[in-house]
Amino acid sequence: MKKRKTQTRKNRPVANKPQPATPNTPKARQAKVGDTVILHYRKKLAINNAVIEESRLTAPFQFKIGDQQVMPSFENAIIGMSKGEKKEFFVPAAQAHGEILRENLFIVKREQIKANFSYQVGQVLLFQQQNGQKLGAEVLKITPTSVILNANNPLAGEDLYFDVEILEII
C-alpha cells in the first residue's frame, strides 16, 4: 500500500508571497555619470544638526552628474542610487566648502572704503575684483583704522550631513 503524501502548512504555496530575485529580474536604474538626477535634499551642519538648506521648501533640485554643478563628494554619493532611494551621508569640511583659509582674511584700511558707507560686524560687503567678478566678504571686526574681512565661503570649515531622496533619473 502506497503512502499518500500529505501537504503540510510549511510546503503549501502562499498567495502573493514575494518571490526572491532571480538573475533575470531587471535591477532598478542606478544613477551614473551623464545622468540628470532630480532629487530632494536637506543640508545640515554636522556640529548641531541645524538645517541650512532644504529643497522640499522650494522645489526639487536637478543636476547632471559629471557637469561639476555640485561638490564632487555629493555627486559620488548619488552615483549608484535608484529612483525612490533615500540616503544620509557625511561630507567633511575639506570635501564640502573647504577649510577656512588665512589668505581669504583681509585687513582693509578704512579710508579705502567709501566715507559715507556704513557697515557693521556680521554684514557681508560686495567688492568688485580686478577681473570683474564680485567677491563677498563678511565684516569680522572694525577698528579705528581698519576693517577685518573674511572672504571664505560662509560654510568653510563646516562638516555637513545630507539627506537625499532620488525622485527621477533621466
pLDDT-derived band at 145 (thresholds 50, 70, 90) equals very high
pLDDT, position 10? 47
155/112 Cα distance (integer angstroms): 27
56/42 Cα distance (integer angstroms): 8
Q: How confident is the model over 66-108, as pLDDT tens digits?
A: 999 999 999 999 999 999 999 999 999 999 999 999 999 999 9
Q: Which DSSP string corresponds to 109-157?
A: EGGGS-TT----TTPEEEEE-TTS-EEEEEEEEE-SSEEEEE-S-TTTT
Give me the chain's average pLDDT, please.
Answer: 88
Q: Which residue has the cell 522650494?
A: 58
User: Which of 19-23, 41-45, 138-142, 159-163 shows the lowest mean pLDDT across its residues?
Assistant: 19-23
pLDDT, position 114? 76
- pTM of the predicted model, to two decimals? 0.75
Among candidates 159, 161, 162, which has minimal Cα distance to 99?
159
CATH number for the domain whose boundaries are 36-98+156-169: 3.10.50.40
- Look at the domain 102-150 and name its fold: Thrombin, subunit H (2.40.10)
Residue 135 predicted with pLDDT over 60 = yes
63/66 Cα distance (integer angstroms): 9
pLDDT, position 24? 54
Domain extents for the chain?
A: 36-98+156-169, 102-150
84/81 Cα distance (integer angstroms): 9
pLDDT-derived band at 14 (thresholds 50, 70, 90) equals very low
55/40 Cα distance (integer angstroms): 5
What phi and psi values does residue 40 have, to the nearest 5 degrees? -105, 145
pLDDT, position 25? 53
53/43 Cα distance (integer angstroms): 5
pLDDT, position 27? 81
95/116 Cα distance (integer angstroms): 40
